[in-house]
Amino acid sequence: MELKKFLLILLFIITIKCIESKKSLRTFVVSQDKPPKPKPLTDFTAYDSREKNRWYLIRTTSTDLDTIVIIDYRAKKIIANVEGEWVNNIFNVTFSIYDDTLDKWIDGVMIRKSKLFSAKYEIQWNNERLYIKPSAFRKTMKIYKETSNELYAQFRYRSIWRTWSKYKYDLQIYTTKLPDALYLMIMTVMHHTTQLNNV
């Protein structure tokens, strides 16, 4: 019986280590653009891993509804639209992302399920269900497929001193199953929700 428990624990540790050592297929450095002072939401630019080439622009507005537009910088076209409310402890997010393989726009939603001391965020898009569980004590947020717990992507807050440096994230993507815009949208919403609510 003790041997069985030991083997189960060993298997669990090996599984965790395999997930942690998973190689990313694409890596972006997502850096804050300098926003106008009155603007409450943060704009970003996504660069390649060496921060040499721009890949995506993330533009935000905040009026009656918060909005995000994601632009493919190389193709000069909009690839995602997001609207709703996700700051000031309100969370209601709908979005539409262009799917290159199907050549059409597909709608989705992002939902927050609050618990006593934590929250779980669920993303539904194109028959895929993802989830993310932020931690107040970790700078890394991981995005998993709900049914299999497969790690699809993660983003890590890189800046050390928030008060004077730009917000900057390392975004690592481990699958080709979903478009980059989906992860950029999730990262931006989570940044606004977790970082700006604490400002």
Write the pLDDT tens digit of every residue in 15-58: 544 445 578 899 999 999 876 566 678 899 999 999 999 999 99
Between 34 and 83, name the one with better pLDDT: 83
Question: Once rounded to an integer, what is the mean pLDDT over residues 122-137?
Answer: 86
User: What are the chain's domains?
Assistant: 2-198 (2.40.160.200)
Q: What's the pLDDT band for 148 if we cut at 50, 70, 90?
A: very high
* pLDDT of the residue at 163: 39
Question: Which tokens in the block code for residue 18?
Answer: 């395999």
Question: Once rounded to an integer, what is the mean pLDDT over residues 171-188?
Answer: 95
Q: What's the pLDDT band for 159 if we cut at 50, 70, 90?
A: low
pLDDT at 75 over 90: yes
Q: What's the pLDDT band for 9 if we cut at 50, 70, 90?
A: low
DSSP symbols for the chain: -HHHHHHHHHHHHHHHHHHHTPPPSEEEEEEE----TT--SPPEEEE-TTS-SEEEEEEEEESSSEEEEEEETTTTEEEEEEEEE-STT--EEEEEEEETTTTEEEEEEEEEEE-SS-EEEEEEETTEEEEE---TT-SEEEEEETTT--EEEEEEE--S-TTTSPPEEEEEE--SSS-HHHHHHHHHHHHHHHTGGG-
Between 33 and 105, name the one with better pLDDT: 105
